[in-house]
Structure 1
């Protein structure tokens, strides 16, 4: 489901979960596409989005990037990062269903990058940067895996 302010991705949610994220988590010997930046770890949540590597590929929309990494639980809601900005949750967990079986295979959460002026302790200014975080669904611990694949878009 595409939300307001987000460009529709050319890669389906199911392909992101099954084709990329699950293979990475399971350690399958497959080459990640060159448009996915791997091993971002916590940097994805602690750096301003415009400072992240931004590879291009014909399969991607302009100003759309993918990053594989592990979620650090201290950034549970991606707030409180080491800069003046933060990824603020704007849409909670949305299940991703397999088209074939109808079972839940993953989930997505949506964030928007906001920042605070140095002397302002309350107001957050919105930016045009969005992140959709994809997680696997483990039947024993739903939505609890640390591995994530994130799509970041800049809608100028």
Structure 2
């Protein structure tokens, strides 16, 4: 489901899970596409979106890129480094099904970056930054893999 200003990616959810995330997490030797930034040792939620590396590629929409990184254990809200804002959960876990088998192979969650208002430290204002987090789902440990692939989008 795409909504609240998010642009639909040209790569399917199943391709993201089976083509990029699963091989990387399983340690398989695969060629990472140039549009995916590999930050496997870093938690993506601790950096403001404009501070993340931003590669471009013709397969992606403008102002869109992917980052591999660690999953955040705090789903509801994740503070940025400068505490200028936070990623706020706007859509809970949605399963991703395999077209072939119909089994759940992963899940996605949607976040939107919010800024702190200058005169009111408690109030937040929505930005044009979105993040769709993709995680694996295994039968033995559903949704508990430590790494995720996130699609970052800035809509103008």
Q: Shorter-chain-normalised TM-score: which range?
A: over 0.9
- With normalisation by structure 2, the TM-score equals 0.93
Q: Superposed, which structure 2 residues align to 1:12-91 within 5 Å? A: 12-39=12-39, 41-73=41-73, 75-82=74-81, 83-91=83-91
Q: Per residue, is there more strand in 1 or in 2? A: 2
Q: Higher mean Cα deviation, 55-64 or 44-53?
A: 44-53
Q: Give the gaps of 5 or more residues in structure 1.
A: none
Q: Higher mean Cα deviation, 108-117 or 118-127?
A: 118-127
SS of equivalent to 2:14: helix
Give the count of matched residue pairs.
155
Backbone CA RMSD of aligned residues: 1.4
Q: Is the 8 Å Cα contact of residues 46 and 78 (structure 2) preserved in structure 1?
A: no
Q: Give the gaps of 5 or more residues in structure 2.
A: none
Q: Report the counterpart of residue 111 of structure 1 in structure 2.
A: 111
Aligned equivalents of 2:142 and 2:39: distance in 1? 23
